[in-house]
Amino acid sequence: MNQGVEMLKNKKQFYITELKMGDDGLEFTVDYGGPFTLSKCRRFLERMFKNPGNMINPYNFSIRGPERKVESVCGTHNYKSPWYGTREDR
């Protein structure tokens, strides 16, 4: 993580967001919780993955926060993304 994200992750500006997927990809999002710190969002999602409820698919949820630059998987370019990983190393 770069220094800008390090400063942001301790502020309460991250949300637990459900992603509504359609035939063409992401159709819309619904915020269910927040604002939280990044570490609290990660703990919350970890509990959802370990103990999913009857009506919840935890894989439809993600962490949304301030836009940041992310390096592509192939490493050739960067892009802006509001989505954060559920693990500390991402």
| pLDDT band of 1, cuts 50, 70, 90 | very low
Which tens digit of pLDDT belongs to each residue from 59-87?
889 999 999 898 888 989 999 999 998 87
Which tens digit of pLDDT belongs to each residue from 9-55?
678 899 999 999 889 888 999 998 889 999 999 998 888 888 877 76
Report the sign of the C-alpha dihedral through residues 68, 1, 85, 12, in that order. negative
What pTM did the predictor assign?
Answer: 0.78
For residue 78, the one-letter residue type is: N
pLDDT at 5 over 70: no
Peptide bond connecting 35 to the previous residue in cis, omega within 30 degrees of 0: yes
Whole-angstrom Cα distance, residue 70 to residue 90? 10
Whole-angstrom Cα distance, residue 27 to residue 9? 27
Q: Which helix (H) or strand (E) holds 1?
A: none
